[in-house]
A = this chain, B = another copy of it.
Amino acid sequence: MAEEREDGAAMGGPTTMSVAEIAAFAADILETAGTAPANAQVMARSIAAAERDGIASHGLIYLPIYVEHVRCGKVDGRAVPGLVQPRPGVVVADAACGFAHPAIAAGAPLLIAAAHSQGVAVLAVRNSYNSGVLGHHTEAMAADGVVALGFTNAPATIAPLGGRTPVVGTNPFSLAVPDGAGGVALLIDQSASVIARSEVVKRHREGQAIPEGWVVDAEGQPTTDPEQILKGGTMAPSGGYKGVGIGILTEVMAAALTGATLGIDASPFSGPDGGPPRTGQMFLAIDPAATSGGAFARRIADLAAAITAQPGARLPGARRLEARARHDREGIAVSSDLLANIRASIP
């Protein structure tokens, strides 16, 4: 009993952890589940980075899903990504049915080098998996001085205008713009749907209702029940047909152009069934020094100033950076119940 009183985890209260502590915890869990140490390190850093940026849906709450998928073979935790460069501006990474993150991390240095020498380059990733927070990948690329535009596809959940059957996933894209000092001037990371599917799944897990306008049920009616997305419902596209257009753009970039599996053919990102989803990612990197005649930094500063000069308006990505600074200062409050549940998810 004394032990329970001392142990916040057993009592269910919040625990304050540092980014490094979260990463170490996640790496240990992933390795125990059967992930190769190098891959576990990459994935653990991504989970910690999501918690650091206040993106709970891709933080520790996702860890049991990664564990389940490594254990059931939906992800090969021991995969070693294969890299080829078939043209001067093209890097192709085969994730070999492992996590996306190690394949992206392996290909990024070649992508950056090619972007600087060629002016523009792409990294095409296939036989991959959910890439977590897309903006973390583009942000890392922008730190090396390129404008990075990323796309990742997902199992189909959005129906076309006039139809009922999903044809594209919520399919986010992300743009990271370098600030010339190793950081980002602005970061866009937005899905094709009104809201990311992971937010609906999170509400379902927590037993909460969702606002009307996020999900359309199987009969084409708006619903506030998050479970409908698991029962034949579809994600509402942002801005109607224009959201479908963004989803198709991303499907073309991340799946058709990479040779990955289309969202209509991919196994789900949740649950143990269907084998590896073999989805894909595409990253474009452009060297501003090659295209802008020296005007880039000034233009970005002027654009950013036009936004921040307005009270109430914020740069895309500002919320993440604020959460990051706060968490680095104060640590991150983590539910002890969640930590206990994660520990319980492995033998």
Residues of chain B lying within 8 A (CB to CB) of residue A113: none
Q: Which of B156, B168, B251, B292 contacts A257 (CB 8 A)?
A: B292
A89 close to chain B: CB less than 8 A:
yes
| B292 engages A87 (CB within 8 Å) | no
Residues of chain B lying within 8 A (CB to CB) of residue A264: 302-303, 306
| A177 engages B293 (CB within 8 Å) | no
Residues of chain B lying within 8 A (CB to CB) of residue A238: 238-240, 242
Q: Which of B89, B265, B316 contacts A89 (CB 8 A)?
A: B89
| Complex CA distance for A251 and B168, rounded to whole angstroms | 26
A249 close to chain B: CB less than 8 A:
yes
Interface positions, chain A 171-203, Cβ under 8 Å from B, are 173, 175, 177, 186, 188, 190, 194
A347 close to chain B: CB less than 8 A:
no
| Complex CA distance for A238 and B159, rounded to whole angstroms | 18
| B259 engages A294 (CB within 8 Å) | yes
Residues of chain B lying within 8 A (CB to CB) of residue A251: 303
Question: How many copies altogether?
Answer: 2
Stretch at the interface among A10-18, A70-78, A114-122, A326-334: A114-122
A31 close to chain B: CB less than 8 A:
no
| B86 engages A119 (CB within 8 Å) | yes
| Complex CA distance for A162 and B309, rounded to whole angstroms | 11
Residues of chain B lying within 8 A (CB to CB) of residue A290: 86-87, 89-90
A300 close to chain B: CB less than 8 A:
yes
Residues of chain B lying within 8 A (CB to CB) of residue A245: 188, 190, 316
A284 close to chain B: CB less than 8 A:
yes
| A147 engages B242 (CB within 8 Å) | no
| B257 engages A167 (CB within 8 Å) | no
| A313 engages B186 (CB within 8 Å) | no
A308 to chain B, nearest CB (A): 9
Interface positions, chain A 14-42, Cβ under 8 Å from B, are none
| A124 engages B291 (CB within 8 Å) | yes
| Complex CA distance for A119 and B122, rounded to whole angstroms | 8
| A295 engages B248 (CB within 8 Å) | no
Residues of chain B lying within 8 A (CB to CB) of residue A291: 86, 90, 92, 122, 124, 257-259, 282
| B87 engages A117 (CB within 8 Å) | yes
| A87 engages B239 (CB within 8 Å) | no
| A89 engages B292 (CB within 8 Å) | no
Residues of chain B lying within 8 A (CB to CB) of residue A300: 252, 256
| B119 engages A190 (CB within 8 Å) | no
Q: Which of B90, B161, B248, B303 contacts A186 (CB 8 A)?
A: B248
A343 close to chain B: CB less than 8 A:
no
| A167 engages B306 (CB within 8 Å) | yes
| Complex CA distance for A159 and B238, rounded to whole angstroms | 18
**Between-chain CB contacts (< 8 Å), 20 pairs:** A88-B89, A89-B121, A89-B290, A92-B291, A120-B120, A124-B291, A161-B314, A162-B311, A162-B312, A165-B310, A167-B306, A238-B240, A245-B316, A248-B316, A251-B303, A256-B299, A259-B295, A259-B299, A262-B306, A264-B306
